[in-house]
Structure 1
């Protein structure tokens, strides 16, 4: 399981998590004051943000899926494989009708940063291989 180094998940006290292969650390926190509420990810000097509802929506989708799903990480604008968490997070058929990412140009990499949050919250099981990781709902 991806362990929290410290933090309560707010801007001044973020969760410190690692990407699925456990190679890179990043900070993440909830910002419920924005419209829409956001899950903010800080990777070095780069900040990404996703709609906060992505946590509940992704968990519900994975529960309905019922089996392992490939992550399929990709930057915005790069092609994604069908049937992956990344493809779902930008598909017009998802609950928000497209990208969960909020910052144009930085709306990709959903599976890389949101899946560890889901794992930390105890909502999913996440693989931690060097490549081709998968996720499933608990």
Structure 2
């Protein structure tokens, strides 16, 4: 995870793909595991930090644009989307990259802008139905 190392005191400011909401991302550890901490207003989400490299690798293997999706944990993710991959038993960690029970979703909303900021992908910024592809 050397590509991204921001602290709580120096988070990376980001916007959702449509540009309609601000959020911030920083790194931390939880139970000895590197995590991404995503703060959206007062809501704090945690994602397994391995998702950066693993999502990038999946997108490279996919080789084309992929829909982001984006769904709360309690709602099903549309198949073939980044959101579905982020919770799939077939991804490298065998399930959810989101770590906070009840707030494990929205992977397809908050992680892709980080990959874009790190120069790992191209990301569309339309009002809806955005897509991503690896650089």
How many pairs were matched up? 131
Correspondence list, 1:25-64, <5 A: 25-32=22-29, 34-64=31-61
Say if 1:51 and 1:125 are closer, same or farther in 2 by CA, change over 3 A: same
- After TM superposition, what 4+ stretches of structure 1 lie above 4 angstroms from structure 2? none
Correspondence list, 1:75-114, <5 A: 75-114=72-111
TM-score of the aligned structures, taking structure 1 as reference length: 0.92
Q: Distance in 2 between matches of 1:97 and 1:25?
A: 30
Q: Distance in 2 between matches of 1:98 and 1:33?
A: 18
Provide the residue aligned with 2:68 in structure 1.
71
Provide the residue aligned with 1:18 in structure 2.
15
1:32-88 C-alpha deviation (Å, 9 max, x unpaired): 465321000001110001000000000000000000000001000201111000000
Q: Distance in 2 between matches of 1:51 and 1:13?
A: 19
Provide structure 2 residue ranges, at least 5 long, that are not aligned to the other structure. none
Provide structure 1 residue ranges, at least 5 long, that are not aligned to the other structure. 1-7
Provide the residue aligned with 2:126 in structure 1.
129
TM-score of the aligned structures, taking structure 2 as reference length: 0.94
**SS class of match (1:37):** strand
